[in-house]
Structure 1
């Protein structure tokens, strides 16, 4: 896409958010734009030198820290968190998981206040919402952020994720951009950010979202209209477009002491927000297979994949018939880690789990998914908006009893993939709405250039 060369600023909550949008950043730099990338240092484990070394200092891209936050413990900090809590109270109905989780993020004194029903009812009123939002409107951006933005002089500011707890610096840079009249863009990094996180205290000019379902979510949860939205697909799953053939099965199995002639099930763990430890669940799955009358199920091997943010508790896990891959740091966002994930998915017959975004990865690579359902998981499965998308579209199998689990697995082993058509429709509608082979990151880069081209904003100092 032809466009004048511009200064583009990306502001990420932490370095962990860059991998999802790395391709967009590099594409825009390759097209000749001057790209600056900022991270909130207080939320990033890596040093700036480590980041620059890993990213390779490509032409036209600079990496640096944001200004440090000055909001911690301030009145506006707490008002933002109460607004986030209020959002989930208003949407809760009979589903209390999100509201209760966010109440736990509040200051202990506020937690005690909102333990009272009358306080919860009062904060849900329109007057309370108006007052809390007024605090945001009357609070100017951090002065050092304004100065930093003036010095960088970007033509556009792109931020993510913007609405997580203890609001980080991408919110302050967006606030400064809006104040200075700089065009702004929100990048949507996950399938649940719209529904399960907080509100958007400052609304950008354009939000680049995944699909039509998120169009509805943006209106229902944030009152952001369609005119402010553009559908790009799921950038977090773009990396699979770069993979072709997996490591040969014989070599893969030899590397991990698996039997190449026997089936493999991949158990993908959820984050610790969903469930603390899944040792009991994978132990139960192993027992269900071992007690089967079918020899194929007895010989089925389980690959147990820890969640990237909850891997340490499994570093010493040892279970017969269960292989932990990878053991230790899962190398999130790095090519080696993605290759391990790709190989384990491709050599597995199906994916098993409770509620994890790895189910999306599995479906995109053509793998059936079985979700273990138990009453104790209700709050973290059927009461979660994003997981309900999978259920309503019929893209995954839901199994509760040992017999249901064994039958679902055997159906897949014997070629009765009853969810295949609905799974493929889910991929087309939810993950790749712009085209099954179209990179969402390429669409994001195109959309940013289109916004730059059509924008009449300019910084005048």
Structure 2
């Protein structure tokens, strides 16, 4: 596996190199084009970097990227065809993991088991997917359905020396990677999150080089997708760079004042995942609300619930049902699209600051298995994983919060001992009291999570830029 080399090793010496970077959406833009990333590219004066962006966002993205020295062009806009959508369905459901099995039972939107015909197809794909030979042949067949010709004009006109896909499972990225491979243009693919390779990304078009957040994801790429380890580079988590700067966060006084919190009380924060994943999330919140209101804990506490922005009605519902509950809901949906999982959600730098300040100043953070586990570990804040359904009594494993920590990407984290999993209200009270009385408990385990999942905080975006530039140099020499 490749190691990221010092900055001087990325200097370009064989003339101007043209790089083409495809940006899937606003979240990718904010997470990739961090200050250190842009600074490295600004220093690489013999590199021309073109960023492909959605046509509808050209003006806005240009205002952000052009001043940093990046060229911006709109990519061809075409919604996924029926056959492309079907191919993605087949690819995802052939990934032989427990996470995929869960998604087949709960539905991609939490609506329950897939419709019968889709469910039967998904189960067959999953069963046969345990054979890598079968999956390799399936991927070759499915790739035929993706329209790579959309990018012919761009690739002919700009003649990139290297193409970078900021995801490897979005339709536009698959099309671009396929088109690039057809023209024998070197490619880099990036994983977006810790669960991609075990739930949604079958690496339909394996890029020439793969950039991942950590060694765990690198091992998944090798084990599940047979991707060569010597073509994987670990760069860290770029969006975590903010967490290494103490001046970036609000002070405790500022944060508590902004949120209307009582500085005399301990702060318990529940980071919600949404009812599509956690069916009984309101019942879990009801349990926490009751424990705090009835003073069942060892110290005077208050409850903050942080919601995913894709649930705009939850804040009103919760504040009506639970008087005095403090609810934070960051992000803004862009455009007229209001479908929870199709809207382009905007997280400003202040939203990131709000999240960082929340995790830093909370005394305990609770959730049911979201990526917030990794963010929280960066601040050494005690964490509790809730593996029961609060006041509800759910009999189905597939609908219970108990299943979530059994997903493949959560298992390595649990092995560190940095998260306490609770299965009953009694265990929840005991864990809360332990952490409220002694926040240093399990600190070693939280440190292991950071080392395992995030690496060296503060330098990931720089490592990402170096890795791209070094690949451009070595592939074109």
For residues 192-341 of structure 1, the aligned pairs below 5 Å read 192-244=195-247, 246-271=249-274, 273-275=276-278, 278-294=281-297, 296=299, 299-318=300-319, 319-326=322-329, 329=332, 332-341=346-355
Give the structure 1 partner of residue 442 of structure 2.
419
Match for 1:158 among 151, 155, 164? 164
Does structure 2 retain, via aligned residues, the 8 Å contact 1:207–1:229?
Answer: yes
Render the CA deviation track for 1:100-159: whole Å, top value 9, x for unaligned.
4678899979516527x7787567777864653342465685323122122122221111
Q: Give, in whole Å, the separation in 1 of the partners of 2:40 and 2:17.
A: 9
* Structural mapping, 1:106-121, within 5 Å: 111=118, 114=121
Give 1:48's aligned residue: 58
Report the CA distance between 1:25 and its aligned residue: 5.2
Displacement after TM superposition at 1:430 (Å): 2.0
Q: Which residue of 2 aligns with 1:145?
A: 151
Q: Which residue of 2 aligns with 1:388?
A: 411
How far, CA to CA, are the matches of 1:355 and 1:389 in structure 2? 12
Query: Alpha carbons of 1:254 and 1:159: their partners in 2 closer, same or farther (altered >3 Å)?
Result: same
Deviation at 1:259, TM superposition (A): 1.1
Q: Distance in 2 between matches of 1:290 and 1:134?
A: 58
State yes or no: 1:81 paired with 2:89.
Answer: yes
Which of 362, 365, 371 is residue 376 of structure 2 equivalent to? Answer: 362
User: Is the CA contact (8 Å cut-off) linking 2:272 and 2:305 kept in structure 1?
Assistant: yes
C-alpha contact 1:267 1:302 (8 A) present in aligned 2: yes
Name the CA shift for 1:443/1:103 in 2 (closer, same or farther; >3 Å).
closer
Deviation at 1:52, TM superposition (A): 2.8
Question: Are residues 1:98 and 2:98 paired?
Answer: no
For normalisation by structure 2, the TM-score amounts to: 0.82
> Shift of the alpha carbon at 1:253?
2.4
Aligned CA distance change for structure 1 residues 410 and 308 (closer, same or farther; 3 Å): same
In structure 2, which of residues 17, 20, 24 is the aligned counterpart of residue 13 of structure 1? 24
Mapped contact 2:20–2:160 kept (Cα < 8 A):
yes
- In structure 2, relative to structure 1, the CA distance for the partners of 1:271 and 1:30 (3 Å cut) is farther
C-alpha distance in 2 between matches for 1:426 and 1:251: 28
> What is the TM-score with the length of structure 1 in the denominator?
0.84
The residue aligned with 2:338 is none
Whole-angstrom CA distance in 1 between matches of 2:101 and 2:460: 33
| Whole-Å separation in 1 of the counterparts to 2:76 and 2:428 | 51
Note the C-alpha offset of 1:11: 1.0
Deviations 1:273-312 (A, max 9, x none): 522573321121111233345562xx31111111243344
2:193 maps to 1:190: yes
The yes-or-no answer on 1:69 pairing with 2:78 is yes
Mind listing any 5+ residue stretches in structure 2 that lack a counterpart?
1-7, 334-344, 389-396
**Secondary structure of the residue that 1:96 maps to in structure 2?**
helix
Q: Which moved more, 1:206-215 or 1:270-279?
A: 270-279
CA distances 1:190-249 after superposition (whole Å, capped 9, x unpaired): 111111113111110111112222222112221112112111112232222344264333
For the residues of structure 2 that align with 1:393 and 1:340, how far apart are their CA atoms?
Answer: 27
- Range 201-210 or range 307-316, more displaced: 307-316
Shift of 1:337: 0.6
Q: State whether residues 87 and 145 of structure 2, in contact with CA within 8 Å, keep that contact through their aligned partners in structure 1.
A: no
Supply the distance in 2 between the matched residues of 1:247 and 1:19 (Cα, whole angstroms).
20
Aligned to 2:423: 400
> Mind listing any 5+ residue stretches in structure 1 that lack a counterpart?
none
Identify which range, 244-253 or 175-184, moves more after superposition: 244-253
Deviates most, 408-417 or 121-130: 121-130
Q: 1:174 matched to which residue of 2? A: 177
Q: How many residues matched? A: 438
The RMSD of aligned alpha carbons is: 3.1
Matched-pair contact (CA < 8 Å) for 1:302–1:321: no
**Residues 254-288 of structure 1, C-alpha deviations (whole Å, 9 max, x = no match):** 33322111111111111555225733211211112
